[in-house]
Structure 1
Amino acid sequence: MKQSTVEQIEMLRERMTDSALKKGRGHPETIGLSRQLDELLNRYDSDQTGIQEQE
C-alpha cells in the first residue's frame, strides 16, 4: 500500500529528528534527510496550492 504524502512527511521528520539526536544536526545523513523533507514539503505545498486554485 502506498503511503500518503502526509505519512511520508511524518516518517521523514521522525528519521531526521532521530538522526539529529544521535549523530548531530551537521551530520551528512541528517542534512540529507532534511533536504529530502524540504523537497517533499515543497511538493506537498505545491499540490495543495494547485487544489485551492481549482476551487
Structure 2
Amino acid sequence: MLVHTIERKREQMLETAKIYGMSSNETIKCSQELDKLLQLHLVNNIRERNLNILKIS
C-alpha cells in the first residue's frame, strides 16, 4: 500500500512540475511529501529486516 502511495505522489509531482515548473512551490511541496513517504518506506524496510534477523537468531 505504501509503495502505491509513493508511486501516486511521484506521478503527482511530475505532473505538477510539467504545469508549474520544477522550482514552483507546488512542485517542491510534492517533492517534500514524496521524500517523507520514501523515508517512511526505508524505515519500515529496516525494521522488517531487523525483525527477520532476530527471528533467525
1-structure distance, mates of 2:46, 2:18: 33
How well do the aligned residues superpose, as a CA RMSD in angstroms? Answer: 0.5
In structure 2, what is the equivalent of residue 47 of structure 1? Answer: 44
> Of Structure 1 and Structure 2, which has the larger fraction of its residues in helix?
2
1-structure distance, mates of 2:19, 2:29: 15
| Alignment: residue pair count | 52
**TM-score under structure 1 normalisation?**
0.91
Give the aligned residue type for 1:13.
Answer: R
* Identity between Structure 1 and Structure 2 (%): 31
2-structure distance, mates of 1:20, 1:49: 31
Larger Cα Rg: Structure 1 or Structure 2? 2
1-structure distance, mates of 2:8, 2:48: 24
